Structure 1
């Protein structure tokens, strides 16, 4: 039962194989098993690759099965069409398109399994890339908010500097009128004279302006700090909203890119392994010697080709003979007087009928 299934997978003619030796049937069962297990590997690899894309086991299984059946049908078709002849170059040329296709399929099959084998290493590379992307993202977003925040902080500093300047000026006026009262400066007279009063009034006016300035600037600073807090909140919100996108940066393309950043040597040999698996049906058919099945299959093809050639030649001869006979028959008819007289009578009758019809038509019109 299993042997019959693998023979079916090889694409061989089961009727011819039944007349061959057991060793010949085992050879084609081995070729069919290679075709079958290549399709199984294609199903597993494509299923895993699609699972990383859709994250749904049912979708991945369905499309993986379709891909496996496609590879199975393709391998079975090509293996069955490679005919063993005494010309290895011709057989190799016939299999060349399939070998090129095997290179492509080997890459498609090997990459998903490489990603599974090196999953931990790929996750480490992705983690480093995500961290770098997070920092870059924060820096890029900061470029939108930092200049505004710095300008607002500078406005706060200017307001505070304005208050400090006014405060220093008021303190200087305070020291001036105190020194005047103590006789340490100005007129040098001890006591609160007219000069003292004048300087005291200047100080009091400056102090009132200072208090007003403090109140005004405090309100402005509070408004600016509110604006800064709002900008900081917007920045934090933008960072939080973009972080899930970075965290989700682990799709198929990202993993393939991360795999490419790992050492190439192990991945290369895994690729060679799958290339060998993928080309195994073709190589097995090419390397197998010409056996009993091949001779019988060639004989059957020769019988069919000979029979078709005979039929075509017979049809050609029949057509040529029929043409010659027709020419001879019509030539004999042409020389018969009875047929000539008969056709003459019919022609005369036709002319008379035409003349009568024309005459009736003319009389009717008159």
Structure 2
């Protein structure tokens, strides 16, 4: 339906463009007259060719769009990851510090254990076999460190568990953000996106299609310019000159009528101005009016006294 309407629109527009070009005695004049129509034909050719190119190269365009969507999806994930990066890294750093603290304390406890065992065996320290005062001192240090280790492990493991939950929450938020923006990327399939994708394809096929439509659109105008004057052109010129002559004559007659009428009115009023009887009548009326005004003025003055 739309294709038929579009075709009829273009057909009538082309018909109007060609029919309004007048044949002149000079090719230069004809070309200047047709130049706006040629530009319009070029615009129409480009407008028509683009949708057809998009349809013809649909598979290739879909491939380009798929690559762009994948690239956009990866960039989107990177941007979202960067958005949560500081929180994730901070949480991970806290967890690593807690684990490091536990490991450090465990190492200290193990070292103290080896120390008091070596003291008991007489291989290090006082080099005396048995559980003497030094042994008791070292085992006391070990027991104290072991108690501290248990306390640190309990506290830090609780914090690590909280951080692990926080990490899961952050990851869930990250995935949610990615999933929310994914439909926007999937919807990157509009007309402008397809035109941009078409421009990324080799230009030669698209250029030939556009040139084909350009030739189709401009051929009627070019044929009109190259063709000699025909019967229609002569008849049209005859009608135009006849109409122009009639309009010129009517305008001249109207101007002449205005001038004649003005001249007649001037002469009539000049004759009236020289009429003695009419002058005397006008003078009498003016005198009566002045007398009446003077009488009214006197009456008003009397009332104020």
**TM-score of the superposition, structure 2-length normalised?**
0.86
Q: In the alignment, which residue of structure 1 is the partner of 2:55?
A: 116
Alignment size in residue pairs: 302
Q: In the alignment, which residue of structure 1 is the partner of 2:276?
A: 340
Rate the CA distance shift 1:137–1:352 in 2: closer, same or farther, 3 A. Answer: closer
1:116 deviation in Å? 0.9
1:327 deviation in Å? 5.4
1:168 aligns with 2:104: no
1:358 aligns with 2:294: yes
- Of the three residues 225, 237, 254, the one matched with 1:315 is 254
Q: In the alignment, which residue of structure 2 is the partner of 1:18?
A: none
Alignment of 1:27-38 (within 5 A): none
- Of the three residues 78, 81, 84, the one matched with 2:20 is 81
1:364 deviation in Å? 6.5
SS of alignment partner, residue 253 of structure 2:
helix
- Of the three residues 127, 132, 135, the one matched with 2:66 is 127
1:144 deviation in Å? 2.0
Q: Please list the CA deviations of residues 125-184 of structure 1 after superposition, one character each: whole Å capped at 9, or x if unmatched.
A: 111111111111111221122343233323222222222222222122222222222232
Structure 2: how far apart are the matches of 1:137 and 1:345? 103
1:270 deviation in Å? 1.1
Note if contact 2:112-2:141 (Cα within 8 Å) is conserved in structure 1: yes
Alignment of 1:257-272 (within 5 A): 257-272=196-211
RCO (CA 8 Å, sep 6+): is it higher in 1 or 2? 2
1:122 deviation in Å? 0.8
Q: In the alignment, which residue of structure 2 is the partner of 1:241?
A: 180
Structure 2: how far apart are the matches of 1:345 and 1:193? 162
1:345 deviation in Å? 4.1
Note if contact 2:84-2:170 (Cα within 8 Å) is conserved in structure 1: yes
SS of alignment partner, residue 244 of structure 1:
helix
Alignment of 1:197-216 (within 5 A): 197-216=136-155
- Of the three residues 211, 230, 240, the one matched with 1:291 is 230
Q: In the alignment, which residue of structure 2 is the partner of 1:151?
A: 90
Structure 1: how far apart are the matches of 2:153 and 2:76? 40
Q: In the alignment, which residue of structure 2 is the partner of 1:224?
A: 163
Give ranges in structure 1 of 5+ residues lacking alignment: 1-39, 45-60
Structure 1: how far apart are the matches of 2:102 and 2:266? 128
Structure 1: how far apart are the matches of 2:294 and 2:208? 99
Note if contact 2:121-2:128 (Cα within 8 Å) is conserved in structure 1: yes
**TM-score of the superposition, structure 1-length normalised?**
0.73
- Of the three residues 188, 193, 208, the one matched with 2:127 is 188
Q: CA RMSD in A?
A: 2.7
Rate the CA distance shift 1:334–1:131 in 2: closer, same or farther, 3 A. Answer: closer
